[in-house]
Amino acid sequence: MNSKMAEGEFEVVPIPQVSLAPDQLSRKFLLCQVCNDIYNEDGKHARLLPCLHSLCFECLNKTKVNDQLQCPTCKVTHNVSNVDKTCPRDNTRRDLMDFVKVKRAPTAVGCTACPSNIATHRCRQCAEFLCGECESAHKRVNATKNHILLELEKLKQSSDLDAFCRQLLCSEHPDNDLKLYCTKESCQKPVCMMCAIVTCKETNGHKIESADTVANSKRQIIRDQKVKMEDVGKQIQSVTNDVKAEQEMVSKLRKSVEDEIDKTFDSLEQIISQGRADLKKTLEDDVMVKQDNLKTQDADLKRMRSEIEESSKFTDQALAYTNAPAFLQVYQTIQNRLKTLTDQFFDKEPHEMATFGFHAKGLVSEIQSKVAEMANIWSVSAFPPNCKVEFGDDLEENKAATFIVKLKDFQKKGPFKDGGLDVTDMKIIIKDPKGAETECARKMKKGSTDELEVTVKPTMTGRHSLEIRVLDRVVVSKDFESKPAVVRGSRKEPSPQKTPPVRREVPKPEQPATPLGIQKPDMTFDRDKAHKDVSISADGKVFKNISAGDQTEPVPSNSRLQKYKGALCAKGIKYPGRYYYAIKMEIKVKKPLDKSNLVYELGIARKSVIGKNLVVEGEKFAWSMIGAHHVDCDAICLHIAHNNHLLYHEVLTKNETGSTMERVFGFLLDTEFGQWKVFDHKIEKEICVVESVDCSEFLYPVVAGYNPNSVEVTATFMDV
């Protein structure tokens, strides 16, 4: 809903157009899926299932067994112990019947009052077809002479349902229309004026609103839910495309591996013909496993996509009606189905990868005795979401350390199908902060079939990345930090000793201190306070250092931040408690920055000091971290300083066109001890601790982005 509209108003949305042909509408929405009869107003009236398919009331009662009903269309089983609640009557179908009649043959529609006469008009208010005589009488009678009469021939050319909507009557007071809606939680239904006076009294906690007003609001909820559901559908389609591409790559790689096998064995055909057949069989089996897994995933994704498309079409159909009570009767069912489809789980990546090959090292020279040992088909089915890298102690410059890499397939089983690690075309690469790559030694952990021991020795400090590559395709990627070497046991430099940090006492409310767990508040940026040259997403989660250029909500300029090119959080944090939140920072260099140019700032500050200057760093009640071009490194670096002392420095990315950086920083504000801790959220490592943070008044997380012509900055509040 447009937030600039006054409270209590609703956006006027044009009536959706019906896009299906009459025969398609009839088959899809007007026929019972079991008996194939047309729905009517009696025992064969339409009932809407939670999956948004339908069948007539008679067939529903015949089909359900022990309060269980299997949908004849999608085969999903529903609990129907309360039929009226689970499978509500769908009165939108009767309006659709009249629409289809006119679309098919308007000259064959009978008059409602005189069925033997052909109708020429339809009364919008009475929802009745009228012959010529009835039309004339309609115009003469005082009660109906001002009604809107529509010619059937013109209606045939129209694609909206507005002219076919008939008003529902109250079951308790049949002479009254259902024009109101009771919003009391235990009621939640359309009511007439008499119901509002007799049974739904406001003195009993009932709240009466216009049915049209409530319907407009709930239509918007459905539209929003539909958008989210269709986004899931797009994700499913994207994964489907990835699965399809992987299937093609598997097939292509299969041909390549077969060619390699043939090339190696052609010179040894008489000796190793049997070995060749065995290897091809192994390859075929492995390919079949991969293809079967991918086909199965493809089929599941298509089914899910089909369910979303069907629900989307039905939702469009339901949203096409302006008959508020009829819509409200099916609203909850539609919403439940859309939410179910939106929240459904599916893997976001193909279950298999085209990662297998042929190993034939030294085969010709030792063919007689080594063919079975040296010629192998290897296959790896590593599924990245199930693969993990475990770090031991903190890594230090020029000190060897060991990682444990756990590889699993999509079923969380060992990934090596044949041949094992030794013959697999796998490389483990370490990238240092400058981008240089070094291949690491690796071996299978003793007694394991899926855990690798990887030995690394960083040659510099800073952020490194570990990549597991199979056929030069990255299967696992993990970042880690290398710290400066620590001199231990030297006479010139004593071993480091841990000393408790000096904590500054901050004023606290006069109340007993109680141990508090870590809270994870839902953070959003304040769109109305953000600087005019930056943009905040509609949900308040995403900040960009460029103006969206399409602001539809006028906000007085004097209410926005003036000097500070950023935004503050909508909610503040105050003693007592420990609060954790995470922000993903993304940087893309469009052109090299000049020396010492600012890129971004992340921090916390009192509202009174935000906006005074270009940055909050240096203010009395503000603590922050700065990303900027660093002349000495000729790179974009991270700096954390406090009281004119540098606490932390790190190279983030090169100062070159096209350079990018993505980091998720975690922040823990401990109001008990006055600490602001900064973490690398992804690898769960503490980066820095800022002491003496005054939490006696509300502190607001802030973010700012600078130099949009040279660098793109995006900050996103993450779910933690």
Q: Which of 461, 483, 505 is the last residue of a domain?
A: 483
Q: What percent of the chain has pLDDT over 70?
A: 86
Domain count of the fold of the chain? 4
CB 195 within 8 A of CB 308: no
Strands (E) in 531-577, as ranges, are 535-536, 542-544, 566-568
Confidence at residue 595, expressed as pLDDT on a 0 to 100 scale: 75
CATH of the domain at 48: 3.30.40.10
Q: Three-class SS of residue 690?
A: strand
Confidence at residue 367, expressed as pLDDT on a 0 to 100 scale: 64
Q: Are residues 145 and 226 in the same domain?
A: no
Q: Are residues 266 and 353 in the same domain?
A: yes
Q: Are residues 318 and 441 in the same domain?
A: no
Q: For residue 219, is it within any domain? A: yes
Confidence at residue 550, expressed as pLDDT on a 0 to 100 scale: 45
Question: Poorest-confidence range of 248-262, 409-423, 700-714?
Answer: 409-423
Average pLDDT of the chain?
82
| pLDDT, tens digit (0-9, with 9 covering 90-100), for 425-468 | 888 898 888 888 988 888 888 888 888 888 888 888 888 888 98
CB 518 within 8 A of CB 578: yes
Q: Three-class SS of residue 631?
A: coil
Q: Which range, 126-140, 143-157, 490-504, 522-536, is most confident?
A: 522-536
CATH of the domain at 562: 2.60.120.920
- Sequence-distant (≥ 6) Cβ neighbours of residue 669 within 8 angstroms: 573, 578, 579, 580, 604, 675, 676, 677, 693, 695, 699
Confidence at residue 514, expressed as pLDDT on a 0 to 100 scale: 34
Question: Is the per-residue pLDDT at 361 higher than 70?
Answer: yes
Q: Are residues 400 and 297 in the same domain?
A: no
**Band (298; pLDDT cuts 50, 70, 90):** very high
CB 483 within 8 A of CB 683: no
Confidence at residue 377, expressed as pLDDT on a 0 to 100 scale: 82
d(CA 539, CA 559): 20
Q: For residue 176, is it within any domain? A: no
Q: Are residues 527 and 621 in the same domain?
A: yes
Q: Are residues 579 and 710 in the same domain?
A: yes
For the entire predicted model, the pTM comes to 0.44
Domain that holds residue 646: 518-717
Element (H, E) at 92: helix 92-104
Q: Three-class SS of residue 271?
A: helix
Q: Are residues 417 and 525 in the same domain?
A: no
Q: Which of 426, 456, 483 is the last residue of a domain?
A: 483
Question: Is the per-residue pLDDT at 504 higher than 60?
Answer: no
Say whether the peptide bond before residue 576 is cis (omega within 30 degrees of 0): yes
CB 336 within 8 A of CB 315: no
Q: For residue 174, is it within any domain? A: no
Q: Are residues 560 and 645 in the same domain?
A: yes
DSSP string, 472-502: TEEEEEEEEEEEPP---S-SSSPPP---PPP
Q: For residue 1, is it within any domain? A: no
**Band (15; pLDDT cuts 50, 70, 90):** very low
**Band (711; pLDDT cuts 50, 70, 90):** very high
- Give the strand order in the sheet containing 356-359: 356-359, 376-380, 416-418
| pLDDT, tens digit (0-9, with 9 covering 90-100), for 627-668 | 998 888 888 999 998 877 788 889 899 989 999 999 999 999
Q: Are residues 569 and 701 in the same domain?
A: yes
Q: Are residues 675 and 574 in the same domain?
A: yes
Query: What residue has token string 């954790």?
Result: 580
Give the Å distances, CA to CA, from 85 to 317, 330, 713: 21, 10, 49
Q: Which of 326, 359, 392 is the last residue of a domain?
A: 359
Question: Is the per-residue pLDDT at 14 higher than 60?
Answer: no
CATH of the domain at 472: 2.60.40.10
CB 104 within 8 A of CB 22: yes
Q: For residue 4, is it within any domain? A: no
Q: For residue 177, is it within any domain? A: no
Q: Are residues 479 and 330 in the same domain?
A: no
Confidence at residue 312, expressed as pLDDT on a 0 to 100 scale: 92
Question: Is the per-residue pLDDT at 490 higher than 50?
Answer: no
Q: What percent of the chain has pLDDT over 90?
A: 24
Query: What residue has token string 């269709």?
Result: 230
Instruction: Measure the CA dihedral 471/472/475/477, to 10°.
Output: 160
Confidence at residue 370, expressed as pLDDT on a 0 to 100 scale: 67
Q: For residue 233, is it within any domain? A: yes
CB 508 within 8 A of CB 694: no
| pLDDT, tens digit (0-9, with 9 covering 90-100), for 185-213 | 888 889 888 888 888 888 888 888 888 89
The stretch 10-37 carries a mean pLDDT of: 60
> Which of residues 334 and 27 earns the better pLDDT score?
334
User: Is the backbone of residue 242 left (phi > 0), alpha (psi -120 to 50) or beta?
Assistant: alpha
Q: Are residues 557 and 696 in the same domain?
A: yes
Q: For residue 495, is it within any domain? A: no
| pLDDT, tens digit (0-9, with 9 covering 90-100), for 162-183 | 666 677 778 888 778 888 999 8
Q: Are strands 542-544 and 711-717 parallel, antiparallel or unpaired?
A: antiparallel
- Sequence-distant (≥ 6) Cβ neighbours of residue 290 within 8 angstroms: 250, 352, 354, 356, 379, 381
> Which of residues 47 and 557 earns the better pLDDT score?
47
Confidence at residue 146, expressed as pLDDT on a 0 to 100 scale: 83
Question: Poorest-confidence range of 11-15, 129-133, 647-651, 714-718?
Answer: 11-15
